[in-house]
Structure 1
């Protein structure tokens, strides 16, 4: 539902200017160009954002346009949680925009007094979320990885986040001690037959809340860039309709998991559609739109943290 007054308020403008200056690192000339105002007005808006307490480390004001997009996404995809943040402009890394909002959302759960099992995916957006978090004590919760933490060369996966979060929040944590993708289905089954792996997998399946990144399946696919799949495997899956992946599990444009490619060798635990608990995607960027859209359609994700441009693209294509 749209707000009665769609015009940005002075606080809207100040919040956006402050976001671009303190988070996006834009100069006042660049902010003036981005907002279509004079340099003097851009300077005043940035000053007002700080003076009014709208900008600290994170944005403390929900810009009206973002609220409208959140409402539209919630209605369209039946989302339980949705945060849309201002974009940082063309060419900027969208992870820088969404990471503070994702951190705030995760911290909201970590502050809950009753014990939770929090399932975590991997990837650049997830790592950005962790980097944006402040230290806190949350020993009542358990953190569990949904995806393997072993890279093809035997090293620890670079974007694994469970131990990085645990170090910040002092919570018990359970990494998934298997390859992200095993060489053969038999090897995957052998890993998952081990008692410690079974226990971690059972804990992951029982997670009370899930946070995951979303990977695209084009030439810039994270699975390809990180060496988890070959170009031939990626081409095979794209030809079969692959649109995206969550926690290493590949799905098509409707969010249906494929019964081919690397899915029979993927370690960890698959995020099932239509969960009755929060399953929150942290993702933004034009290349990720088809993947995010598929995951929303099947409700692999029932929550989303993204930026304005991505939110608008999702609504225009759905």
Structure 2
């Protein structure tokens, strides 16, 4: 009545035979719960243009969050996370199996989720969080708990190391029935939610700053040309992951398994994650992308024909 029929609060109160303050409170609840979302379209807003370009180039659903260049990385992350939380809510249905990867970005998203009642849904942790310094349970469980609370869903943790010392140990652990149950649940995922890890981001990805990788691991990743990771599984800027040894020790889902999930929601904040984001897009890991305007602008510029080496090569042949 208020948003679609343009009725005043006084008119609504009379029709519903209630007070104006009750109508005001109901409208506030509708906004807080995500039932109503308000967007402002300004003449200078480049977000729709950027969204069209990214959608056309990468074949993904995309939400570009307008932000001022004056904002710091933390403020940008907060705004992107708020938009991500609003985007995720309508996509969550009853009987869903939602995989959640821990990390700095997803942790911030989890704090902005609005409540939505579902039935028979499950939140499952995508990758282990333990390392030589901590079990990681407190950090990872808080993230999945927030998702579970928001959607009234059952929560399944994955209490294994983020990286095993030996691939053989992981292979043996993967045969255990208690672990197999979580892996089977991950295989039934309908939605996966994750950020993109990067060593160069101003807000460091938790996998790089939380003691999960030693200097030998980091050197190996650099030697393999790694651009980033999703759920502690690494890939290069062209989307390839063959020969990256650390992946055989990772507890995260392999990229082929992740690609089978129907809805794969990636949240990115900060232009320094651009290389990792391009790798994730090249690997086909993303169906829905939420990112800030600066990162979107750089992604579009890097993806333009003038920056495409194949395009440049063909142009050269035309010139001959």
**Which TM-score band (shorter chain)?**
0.7 to 0.9
Q: 2:128 aligns with which of 130, 148, 159?
A: 148
Superposed displacement of residue 155, structure 1: 2.2
Q: 1:119 aligns with which of 99, 107, 111?
A: 99
Decide whether the 8 Å contact of 2:73 with 2:270 is kept in 1: no
What SS does structure 1 have at the residue aligned with 2:159? Answer: strand
Match of 1:60 in 2: 38
Within 5 Å, give how 1:132-147 maps onto structure 2.
132-147=112-127
Superposed displacement of residue 294, structure 1: 0.8
Q: Does 1:130 align with 2:110?
A: yes
1:82/1:258 Cα in 2 relative to 1: closer, same or farther (>3 Å)? same
Specify every segment of 5 or more residues in structure 1 that has no aligned partner in the other structure, as ranges. Answer: 1-52
In 1, the alpha carbon distance for the partners of 2:131 and 2:91 equals 30
TM-score (norm 2): 0.75
In 2, the alpha carbon distance for the partners of 1:227 and 1:258 equals 25
Deviations along 1:59-83, one digit per CA (max 9) or x if unpaired, are: 721544212211111111011x211
Deviates more, 1:252-261 or 1:95-104: 252-261
Q: 2:234 aligns with which of 250, 253, 269?
A: 250
Decide whether the 8 Å contact of 2:81 with 2:109 is kept in 1: yes
Match of 1:232 in 2: 216
Within 5 Å, give how 1:253-272 maps onto structure 2.
253-272=237-256
RMSD (CA atoms): 2.2
- Runs (4+) of structure 1 exceeding 3 A deviation are 56-59, 217-222, 273-276
Deviations along 1:187-225, one digit per CA (max 9) or x if unpaired, are: 212321211211111111221111111101348453221
Decide whether the 8 Å contact of 1:233 with 1:261 is kept in 2: no
1:134/1:274 Cα in 2 relative to 1: closer, same or farther (>3 Å)? closer
TM-score (norm 1): 0.75
Deviates more, 1:59-68 or 1:167-176: 59-68
Deviates more, 1:242-251 or 1:292-301: 292-301
Match of 1:212 in 2: 194
Decide whether the 8 Å contact of 1:281 with 1:304 is kept in 2: yes
Q: 1:175 aligns with which of 157, 179, 184?
A: 157
Q: Higher Cα Rg: structure 1 or 2? A: 2
Match of 1:297 in 2: 282
Match of 1:195 in 2: 177
In 1, the alpha carbon distance for the partners of 2:169 and 2:191 equals 29
In 2, the alpha carbon distance for the partners of 1:225 and 1:232 equals 15
